[in-house]
Structure 1
């Protein structure tokens, strides 16, 4: 991940900085050390190495001396901070339409997570999946994004958002989270997400405006097409792998997702200096170290999750990656 970059709305970065500044902490020297020069224009985008963004969050958490940094960020991300996506959400006809809009176009604001919804009994369950290993900033990133989505739903429903429960797959301050989400919040669960009753998600919203929604949707689609054209094939393939919850898709299946032949996808990856196998190897490596660092899965479970039919093959691959077997892996110390 050290060479990857992340692009976010400048306003999101400013919120993190402002939280620290509000505590009386001088920020100029800190930001200069990180090489961050935020633009006061809230509509701009800022691109930085993933390692820099990660350090920004780690530092902010230490300055705050508060594990609730993600909730503090999410609380500030109101509907008017999300640009054209917020505009389209504001004009949506129903809560279901808001959810579907965010599922498709959340990537315009952040590519760190993917949002997916599915019906479960009498509820719509909205889940959030990491598009990259979020490492030791998993908690603030996930909490901030989920709370920001909750804020959008709260505004579009004029304060009547009926989220029934929220879950996170890590430890947290349930009492504080429940005060912000205004519903039960459970930590140390299987996944991040929330549920909405099916009985309410198709009720007309008072702020609905069909013309404005279609205008916003058109711009969102244009921005999505522009974003897709600017991304390398390797980045797109990697995202597909990390979004998969039931094993990694084959080269053939991945090519089908992009509406190209396997031979074409292979050729384009080769032109970028990589291959499907190389990307799969890198994704497995990063997920393996991430799973080991969480301490919640056995080596055998990790081997199975990464698609190895034989645990011995996983141990051999891990030793090639880290020069030690998985049972002896020691996570690097964070700075």
Structure 2
């Protein structure tokens, strides 16, 4: 069962409105029509139905005539726009600590994507996976988030962040992207993310302040605890699944991660009208569509990545989801 609401810091919404206003467009009637109140309290959170947020982004792109709306938004999301999370990043001791902080607490600012890291080939690879199907606003959302995180790293390293390359799983304006990321940007790849050389990420940062970091971290932990209490159990399980993307943990292991018994987790999911099996099935569906759309994996590789015992089982599941076999699927 997917959460149909989006919750974001009000400051992010204000930045999008400002982009439209800078393009010379009146926003009063537009916002009133959408039912969005531009609260001047930048530190507050704002929630709205997913479809309203989607329309908000589509309208902003249409009013401004900007196909690269995500880059325009991300460029405005500097470290001081992220509240206590930005302050904690500012006080971090190393780039690795900044990345680990964002990995754990990015959900405090957006639940639209999940972030994970992997050390490979002399680099720390940071990748982003959408937590729900983002559809036609996927490029805007992912570009904005990745650029916002690049801005955080740039500030904490005082402009010396050595990002090797940035990748996106869709088409885009490569020249414009490289001008704002200040590194190589590759579109139409199999994932969204960037790489950091392992040789630099443990170097001390000049603005490090362990006392300030620990104090900010306490606040982040409390916010995360409060947020987790408000999330549905289905959303929490889905987030865990998306962080793994394959070799999904069993019901028993998932329950252990949440410090409850398997029976309790089963009951809570049942109370929400779903089950562990249905949540995993939904994540597999979502990932299967993404993998097919990128075109970087064969159907057999996708079947393996999603943990199916054989190709026939994956084909059967996909036909149940989309009414066509995976070989015949075409993105809408």
Output the TM-score relative to the length of structure 1.
Answer: 0.89
Q: Does 1:146 align with 2:146?
A: yes
Who is 2:39 aligned against? Answer: 39
CA contact (8 A) 2:246 2:307 kept: no
Who is 1:119 aligned against? Answer: 119
Who is 1:229 aligned against? Answer: 229
Q: How far has the Cα of 1:217 moved from its partner? A: 0.9
Secondary structure of 1:115's aligned partner: strand
Q: Give the unaligned 5+ runs of structure 1.
A: none
Q: How far has the Cα of 1:258 moved from its partner? A: 1.5
Who is 1:262 aligned against? Answer: 262
Distance of aligned partners of 1:133 and 1:247 in 2 relative to their CA distance in 1, 3 Å threshold: farther
Q: How far has the Cα of 1:149 moved from its partner? A: 0.7
2-structure distance, mates of 1:122, 1:315: 37
1-structure distance, mates of 2:238, 2:68: 30
Q: How far has the Cα of 1:222 moved from its partner? A: 0.9
Task: Name which of structure 1's ranges 24-33 and 8-17 shifts more when overlaid on structure 2.
Answer: 24-33
CA contact (8 A) 1:2 1:51 kept: no
2-structure distance, mates of 1:59, 1:108: 26
Map Cα deviations across residues 15-37 of structure 1 (whole Å, 9 max, x no partner): 11111111112222222222222
CA contact (8 A) 1:113 1:130 kept: yes
Distance of aligned partners of 1:279 and 1:85 in 2 relative to their CA distance in 1, 3 Å threshold: same
Q: How far has the Cα of 1:306 moved from its partner? A: 3.9
Q: Does 1:182 align with 2:182?
A: yes
CA contact (8 A) 1:130 1:243 kept: no
Q: How far has the Cα of 1:322 moved from its partner? A: 4.7
Secondary structure of 1:47's aligned partner: strand
Q: How many residues align?
A: 332
Secondary structure of 2:169's aligned partner: coil
CA contact (8 A) 2:115 2:243 kept: no
Q: Does 1:90 align with 2:73?
A: no
Q: How far has the Cα of 1:110 moved from its partner? A: 0.8
Map Cα deviations across residues 175-208 of structure 1 (whole Å, 9 max, x no partner): 1111101111111122212122222222222212
Q: How far has the Cα of 1:114 moved from its partner? A: 1.9
1-structure distance, mates of 2:125, 2:316: 38
Who is 2:20 aligned against? Answer: 20
Output the TM-score relative to the length of structure 2.
Answer: 0.90
2-structure distance, mates of 1:20, 1:119: 40
CA contact (8 A) 1:7 1:46 kept: yes
Q: How far has the Cα of 1:305 moved from its partner? A: 4.4
CA contact (8 A) 1:92 1:207 kept: yes
Q: How far has the Cα of 1:82 moved from its partner? A: 0.3
